[in-house]
Amino acid sequence: MMREDRNAPPLVVFDLDGTLVDTAPDLIGTLDVIFERHGIPRLSYEDARNMVGGGARKLIERGLAAERCPVPAAPLDRLVQEFIAHYAAHIADRSRPFPGLDAALDALAVVGCHFAVCTNKLEWLARRLLDALGLTGRFVAICGGDTFGMQKPHPEVLRRTIACAGVAGLPVMVGDSITDVSMARAAKTPVIAVAYGYTEIAPQELGADRVIEALAELPEAIFDLVGRIAQPEVS
């Protein structure tokens, strides 16, 4: 892994669903289609929204558990395959970047920051989504739940994403859930939580170094956090 240079602009590693892009409309829409196809009751949008972020299998499992509808392993595999096929075809029907994303990335890029994506979404789906939204070129690395054979919150996922980025700046993780915060903590990486994402735990209770209400606050939060880490107060 490249040695970190605390004087270099930071590497900002983003979660995808619920942090960069509001993907819930298309993910939940797909879940509704698959559940209806198999006679499984649909979840309310509000309940399903906070189940997003762990990948397709986890979303289906959580949805089934919420409806108290256990499914054996083989049918679950089939549900996952159907989900992915439908979702891939409708990946950006209604999914859109959260407000302020372009401006926040521009403000960070102008001072030399680099960006990466670390998500539990399958890598090819993450790339397809970012391609559809015209965002792929923003990132030096895009790593998914199948890229390394392990998923968040395993800290090695973040470490390997940072290595794939191949830049020297101090990394900072930005995410919306306990999965992101736990991974960053285990990887000894500073972490910022967004308050608008998909989480069943209050954002202020996730244990992040900073919580921001909107992406407009991200540049200031990153420079404040990195500055405090790079130049600790001397007593």
Domains in the chain, CATH or no CATH each: 11-22+96-230 (3.40.50.1000), 24-89 (1.10.150)
Q: Which of 15, 22, 176, 180 is catalytic?
A: 15
CA-based max dimension of the chain? 65
CB 198 within 8 A of CB 52: yes
What is the rounded distance in angstroms from the CA atom of residue 134 to the CA atom of residue 21? 12
Structure confidence by residue, pLDDT tens digits, 204-220: 999 999 999 999 999 99
For residues 73 and 66, what is the distance between their CA atoms, to the nearest angstrom? 17
The burial class, CB within 10 Å (0-12 / 13-18 / 19+), for 98 is middle
Strand partners, 14: 117, 174
| pTM for the structure as a whole | 0.91
Q: What is the pLDDT of residue 234?
A: 45
pLDDT digits (tens, 9 = 90+) for 126-160: 999 999 999 999 999 999 999 999 999 999 999 99
Establish whether 26 is a catalytic residue.
no
DSSP state of 150: -
Question: What are 88-121's pLDDT values in tens digits?
Answer: 999 999 999 999 999 999 999 999 999 999 999 9
Rounded alpha-carbon distances, angstroms, from residue 64 to 40, 70, 73, 90, 101: 8, 6, 13, 22, 33
What DSSP designation does 41 have?
P
Q: What is the pLDDT of residue 233?
A: 46
- The whole-chain average pLDDT of the chain stands at 92
| Spatial contact of 118 and 58, defined as CB atoms under 8 Å apart | no
Q: What is the mean pLDDT of residues 29-41?
A: 92
- Of the pLDDT bands very low, low, confident and very high (cuts 50, 70, 90), residue 229 is low
